Amino acid sequence: MGQIVGAGLVSHAPVLMFPEKSRIAANGGQDFTLATGLLQLREEIFDAVEYDTVIVFDSHWATTIGTVVTSADRRNGLFTSGEMPTAISQLAYDLPGDRELAEVIAGRGEWITPVDDPILPIHYATLIPWTYLGSPDKSWISVSVCRTAEPDDFLSVGTAIGDAVALTDRKVMLVASGGLSHTFWPLREVRSRMAGDPKNIVSEQHRAADLERIEWMVGGDHAKIIDSMDAFAEFDPQAGFGHYLMLAGALGGRSANARGRQYGDYENGIGTGQAHVWFEVSR
């Protein structure tokens, strides 16, 4: 019987791919804790826990008429971000896949399709966490965020994934790759808002909404987050917060009570709210 052995909300802010000196310069003389937090997460969790496969809920991968899960045996190549080509340029990647698990997931839920097309685009919401946390012998599969889905649809996908893991022999890490509130500064202000200090979040109201949800995550109150999605929608959560909702669904949905621990601080990403929160799950 398979098992989820780790799960967390993980930022993929592009600043994580800046050279360390550039990150320090952008952050006024010290590194972003988004970077140091991921290094700590690798040391304490990814290098310490036995697992087979990472499932990434990729908030940059938008599909329209359902959810797609990658089922290729391997994804490799070079990646340059069309959004930020100077920050992420010709990044070499080589991710083993997990065809069996992907196909079991697709068989457990509605409108979930496995795709093994070797030229299916990959996104940096998968590649940035992989760069920090990946290992050559561990499989990584990506799950899209359906842009027409509503919160209960995301929860249902998560439930299907939790059920599928249990039907296999896999030990699985879940990574909800994305931010919290996701409103950017206008172009003429954005370059002066690069530092991680939360005062650079686009508004006090956005910051307060994010911090409230982080508090609920730390306390394991996932039902409160799920049931307040209408209110959070006012602050434009990234990808409708679908990446988090699928993770929550896999952990039990409204009955999930896994407590979170922050790795690093809550930080600004040119107006958006960013944090790493890793949840205590039973192993």
Q: What is the pLDDT of residues 261-278, one digit of tens each?
A: 999 999 999 999 999 999
Per-residue confidence at 175, pLDDT binned at 50, 70, 90? very high
At 258, list the tokens: 């896994």
Q: What local confidence, expressed as pLDDT, does residue 70 receive?
A: 98
> How many helices and strands (H and E) does the chain possess?
10, 12
Q: What local confidence, expressed as pLDDT, does residue 193 receive?
A: 95
Q: What local confidence, expressed as pLDDT, does residue 217 receive?
A: 98
DSSP summary character for residue 199: G
Per-residue confidence at 132, pLDDT binned at 50, 70, 90? very high
H-helix or E-strand containing 23? helix 20-26
Q: What is the mean pLDDT of residues 13-34?
A: 96
8 Å CB contact between 217 and 277: yes
pTM score of the predicted model? 0.97
Q: What local confidence, expressed as pLDDT, does residue 167 receive?
A: 97
Please, what is the angle between helix 151-167 and helix 99-108, to 10°? Answer: 130
Q: What local confidence, expressed as pLDDT, does residue 227 receive?
A: 98
pLDDT over 80 at 282, yes or no: no
Q: How many structural domains is the chain composed of?
A: 1
Average pLDDT for the chain? 97
pLDDT over 90 at 283, yes or no: no
Q: What local confidence, expressed as pLDDT, does residue 24 receive?
A: 97
Which residues form the domain of 124?
A: 3-279
8 Å CB contact between 164 and 77: no
Give the integer Cα–Cα distance in Å for 9 and 180: 9
DSSP summary character for residue 237: B
Distances (CA, A) of 142 to 47, 70, 71, 175, 265: 21, 6, 9, 9, 26
Per-residue confidence at 138, pLDDT binned at 50, 70, 90? very high
- pLDDT digits 0-9 by tens, 186-215: 999 999 999 999 999 999 999 999 999 999
Q: Kindly tell me the sign of the dihedral angle through the C-alpha atoms of 95, 261, 171, 164.
A: negative
User: Which CATH number does the domain housing residue 172 bear?
Assistant: 3.40.830.10
